[in-house]
Amino acid sequence: MEFAGIRAIVSGAASGLGNATARRIVEHGGRVAMLDMNEALGQEAAAALGDAALFIRTDVSDEAQVDAAVAQAVAALGGVDLAVSCAGILGAGRVLGRDGPMPGAQFRKVIEVNLLGTFLLGKAAAAAMADNPPGADGERGVLVQTASVAAYEGQIGQAAYSASKGGVAAMALPMAREFARIGVRVNTIAPGIFMTPMMAGMPPEVQQSLGAQVPFPSRLGEPEEYAAVVQFICETRMLNAEVIRLDGAIRMQPR
Q: What is the pLDDT of residues 119-152, one digit of tens each?
A: 999 999 999 999 999 999 999 999 999 999 999 9
Q: How far does CA 50 lie from the centroid of its chain? A: 22
pLDDT of residue 203: 84
Residue 25 maps to a domain: yes
Which of 28-32, 85-89, 157-161, 194-198 is predicted with the least confidence, judged by mean pLDDT? Answer: 194-198
- Domain span at residue 25 reads 7-246
Residue 34 maps to a domain: yes
Residue 73 maps to a domain: yes
pLDDT of residue 189: 98
Residue 113's pLDDT band (cuts 50, 70, 90): very high
Neighbouring-strand partners of residue 36 = 57
Count of domains forming the chain: 1
Pairing between β-strand 82-85 and β-strand 96-97 as defined by DSSP bridges: unpaired
Q: Which helix (H) or strand (E) holds 56?
A: strand 53-57
Q: Which residues are catalytic?
A: 161
Is the separation of the CB atoms in 223 and 195 below 8 Å? Answer: yes
Could you give the 3-state DSSP secondary structure of residue 78?
coil
CATH number of the domain enclosing 113: 3.40.50.720
**pTM reported for the whole predicted model:** 0.96
Distance CA 50, CA 253 (A): 42
